[in-house]
Amino acid sequence: MCILCQQGQLQNHYRFGSRAGSRRSFLKGAAATGAAAAGLGLFAPRRAVADSGPPGGTGRPGRRYVIKGGSVMTMDGGEFAQADVVVEGKRIVAVGPGVGEGVGGEVIDATGRIVMPGFVDTHHHQFETVLRGFLADGVLINDGDSAPGPNGSLGEDNYAYFEQILLGFAPIYRPQDVYINELFGALSQLDDGVTTVHDVSQIHHTPQHSDAAIQALFDSGRRSAFGYFEGAGEKVANLTAAQGGSQALFGVVQSPGYAYPNDATRIYNQFFSGQSVAPTTVTGVGSHRSYSGGLGKISPSYDKLVTMIMGGEVYLSDAVTEASWTIGRQLGLQVAAHILSPFDIRPSFDLLAQGRGGSTNGVNGGPGNIGIGPDNLFIHMTGMSDAAWQVVKAQGAQVSLAVPIEMNMRHGMPPILKLQSLGMEPSLSVDVECTLTADFFTQMRSAMNQQRMIVNQMTLDTQGNAAAAGQAGSLPNPLDWGLPEGQNALDAQPIFTPGAPPGWPQYPNGAIPAPLTTRDVLRFATINGAKGLRLDDRTGSLTVGKEADIIILDATRINVAPLNNVPGTVVSLMDRTNVETVIVAGKIRKWKGQLLDNFTGGALDLRGLRAQLEASRDYIFAHAFNNAAPNGIATVTGVPKNLFGGQ
């Protein structure tokens, strides 16, 4: 791209002598891939209509096309009822009304469409794609707090995620299972308009498993952050003597060659060399720690679609936490962890907030010298202390929420109001498809609905109480929650007493938090996600100079027409059937409702991929540890495939 184009002053390189030269250069490259004939008319502007193919060669250097006449939301402040987006190579070179006139390149007619950045999913266990819907009635962990269901259905002990999925299914995955699960899950989300994902793949039983996951992410052609977490269900972590030696874990298998977390160095050097700006340097001790260096940032010169994040769970062992966070920071990577109410995580997280997490010289029981920093990404953040939250905010750590899953699987209340009270915002994530959909329209609606449900109830609870009108301190009324009638909650109760619920928490200046809007959750789903993965310099908004991760949404379909409000239509009405075209780094991956093959550009062989996924499913179900057995997880293998089985 020429310097004038980079500055937004578009030049028509396809006129006169430059056109011929550019065309010859392009055709020379196209011939090498057998595409010369398709390139003969590449530079003649034409309207792309529903029954025509996509523009050829998209995403290649110098290849320009114009998305013309759509309603454009840039997510960097630009909102246009009708505007153009000009893409050259993999980057956006112009956005605005009329900017696509006379600049050359093919034209994609976006009349009646909404053009916006692709969604960013900051936490998704893609290796579980084969288990979709299996745990639809499940909870996170068997905590013994739910009775068996009606009509003899099984209780939570048989359908808890940790026991059944992570300890029952995950340990028996083969590398080929990892590959097809990762690939199929990635392509499915591309179809939904999710152009970026953080793949939290807790399936690293051997280096071959890790390599299979990474290869699938690259082959998907989607922007991805590979999260290198543990191998779920492993009994022993093989740390070095200096790291504390072998660590006993709560697991069911001991895989030969299990190499987490130390294999991170090989993975980085083999697949992601050059990603980090520099190692992250930590100075000071305890709460007087400071961070400098790479801080998980991505080098501007790194041009691969797939990046790496270091997973470092705090519930494995203190020594594993110390080792994984230390390795991640030595490599200059972002460090991510699930932080939530169960697993007794709050005390460990409080120690991290004090800069005393991990272990001392590899000895469990700490306190160690690991602390929360600006290079952290924390998932869920349910049930954590105010003191820890203050450190998360002060350090600038990122927070990812999976609101539908958190509400459904007993993770704890999604902390949207806590984030608001601190002046923070989350990104959004899918979590697990064994329980709920990976659809991102659902993520946005759920976040908005959950927050507004609480805020609206807070507002209702002040009605009829003149002293509390508009304030957040009034007590909830159990009748409004459909709870059994008890002590009058509207009576002034300064603290929780038996029979009365506690008061609503206080917020800055005592005001009730503002209800979330459709623009808020769109921001959570796009630019906040990019910030959460340290990718906001290249994606998350339609900004000149950023890479072209774009979705075109059909606003003429029967479920949304007529178009009256762009943000409201996207969040409140749309679903994946409205996702017409998907673009990643300038390359068209879905065209007029049909996914395209990343390598051939033709129609995706969905039937063949589905057959591979089903074969993987059959193997995994046949060999899984059966948590539904009377003795729980043991040597019993085989989970029956029952399409109407009780949960």
Domain span at residue 545?
3-118+540-595
Q: Is residue 643 part of a domain?
A: no
CB atoms within 10 A of CB 245: 13
Per-residue model confidence (pLDDT) at position 368: 86
Confidence of residue 403 (pLDDT cuts 50, 70, 90): very high
Instruction: Give me the pLDDT at residue 478, please.
Output: 57
pLDDT recorded at residue 159? 75
Share of the chain above pLDDT 90, in %: 71
How does pLDDT run across 430-448, given as a tens digit for each residue?
Answer: 999 999 999 999 999 999 9
- What does the pLDDT average to over 396-422? 95
> Same domain for 141 and 91?
no
pLDDT band for 483, please (50, 70, 90 cuts).
Answer: low
164 and 44 in a common domain: no
Backbone angles phi, psi at 176, to 5 degrees: -65, -30
Contact 616, 128 (CB under 8 A): no
Residue 475 scores a pLDDT above 80: no
Please indicate, yes or no, whether residues 87 and 186 belong to a single structural domain of this protein.
no
Q: Is the confidence at residue 26, as pLDDT, over 80?
A: no
Same-domain check for residues 133 and 82: no
Mean pLDDT, residues 82-108 taken together: 97
In a domain, 165, yes or no: yes
Last residue of a domain, one of 451, 475, 490: 451
Q: Which residues pair with 591 in a beta bridge?
A: 594
Confidence class of residue 629 from pLDDT cuts 50, 70 and 90?
very low
Q: Is the pLDDT of residue 409 over 80?
A: yes
Mean pLDDT (the chain) is 85
Q: Give the separation between CA 144 and CA 155, rounded to whole angstroms.
A: 9
State the pLDDT at residue 369: 87
Supply the pLDDT for residue 538.
Answer: 98
Residue 631 has pLDDT above 60, yes or no: no
Task: Give bridge partners of residue 117 from the DSSP assignment.
Answer: 550
Give the CATH number, domain containing residue 589.
2.30.40.10
pLDDT value of residue 491: 42
Task: Categorize the per-residue pLDDT at 142 as very low, low, confident or very high, splitting at 50, 70 and 90.
Answer: confident
Lowest mean pLDDT among 30-39, 175-184, 294-303, 597-606: 30-39
Residues 40 and 170 in one domain: no
Above 80 in pLDDT, residue 154?
Answer: no
What is the arithmetic mean of pLDDT over 343-368?
86
Is 427 inside a domain boundary?
A: yes
Q: How confident is the model at residue 638 (pLDDT cuts 50, 70, 90)?
A: confident
- CATH number, position 313: 3.20.20.140
Q: What pLDDT is attached to residue 465?
A: 53
Helix (H, G, I), strand (E, B) or coil at 68: strand
Instruction: Report the run of H or E that residue 536 belongs to, with start and end.
Output: none
Q: Are both 219 and 367 inside the same structural domain?
A: yes
* Alpha carbon of residue 366 to chain centroid: 32
Find all residues with CB under 8 Å of 467, minimum gap 6, and list them: none
**pLDDT at residue 460, as a whole number:** 79
- pLDDT tens for 508-555 read 666 788 999 999 999 999 999 999 999 999 999 999 999 999 999 999
In a domain, 486, yes or no: no
Indicate the residue among 423, 451, 479 that finishes a domain: 451
Going by C-alpha positions, the residue among 289, 269, 360 that lies closest to residue 322 is 360
| Lowest model confidence (mean pLDDT) among 212-216, 321-325, 473-477 | 473-477
Domain boundary among 579, 595, 611: 595
Q: Are residues 106 and 131 in the same domain?
A: no
290 and 381, same domain (yes or no): yes
pLDDT class of 625 with cuts at 50, 70, 90:
confident
Residues 104 and 131 in one domain: no
Q: Cα–Cα distance between 588 and 598 in angstroms, integer?
A: 9
Which one has a higher pLDDT value, 25 or 8?
A: 8
User: Does residue 200 lie within any of the structural domains?
Assistant: yes
Do 111 and 146 fall into the same domain?
no
What mean pLDDT is predicted for residues 296-324? Answer: 96
Tens of pLDDT, residues 270-285: 999 999 999 999 998 8
Residue-level pLDDT at 365:
74
d(CA 32, CA 410): 55
The per-residue pLDDT for 534 is 98
pLDDT at 511: 75
Q: Is residue 622 part of a domain?
A: no
Q: Which residue has the higher pLDDT, 27 or 322?
A: 322
Same domain, 59 and 174: no
Summarize the confidence of residues 171-191 as an average pLDDT: 98
Question: Is residue 470 assigned to a domain?
Answer: no
The tokens describing 38, both together, are 């398709």
Number of domains in the chain: 2
CA distance 475 to 178: 49
- The DSSP-derived string for 83-97 is EEEEEETTEEEEEET
The structure's pTM equals 0.88
Instruction: Enumerate the β-bridge partners of residue 497.
Output: 500
- Residues 325/349, Cβ–Cβ less than 8 Å: no
Question: Is 126's pLDDT higher than 80?
Answer: yes
For the chain, the helix, strand and coil percentages under 3-state DSSP, each to the nearest 5: 30, 20, 50
**Are 174 and 293 found together in one domain?**
yes
- The structure tokens listed for 100 are 């696509």
pLDDT of 38? 34
| Residue 638 covered by a domain | no
Q: Is the pLDDT of residue 501 over 70?
A: no
